[in-house]
Amino acid sequence: MAHTKAQKAVSGNRDSQPKRLGVKLYGGQSAKSGNIIIKQRGSKFWPGEGTAICRDFTIMAVRPGTVLFKKKMGKQFVCVV
């Protein structure tokens, strides 16, 4: 015998909203102070000069300038120069 009787769909058959993560400003683009450069889960990218990291690992510009991506000692850094 079936445990559920004449229901429309399974109760756990729902999907969550997309979180819209990723790079928002690419290398060479200009950033204003306060612009979000990357939204991420965990620290895949690290903040360099002119950037700061938020509580949810979002990297944002602290000063106006041009976005620059660097690699140093195996880590990827985001800078605003």
Residues 27-78 have pLDDT tens digits of: 999 999 999 999 999 999 999 999 999 999 999 999 999 999 999 999 999 9
Q: In order of start, what are the domains of the chain with their CATH numbers? A: 22-80 (2.40.50.100)
Give the contacts of 67 (CB within 8 A, at least 6 positions apart): 25, 26, 27, 28, 29, 30, 31, 37, 61, 78, 79, 80
Instruction: Give pLDDT, residue 22.
Output: 97
- Which carries the bigger pLDDT value, residue 11 or residue 63? 63
pLDDT at 14: 80
Q: Distance (Å, rounded) from C-alpha 26 to C-alpha 68? A: 8
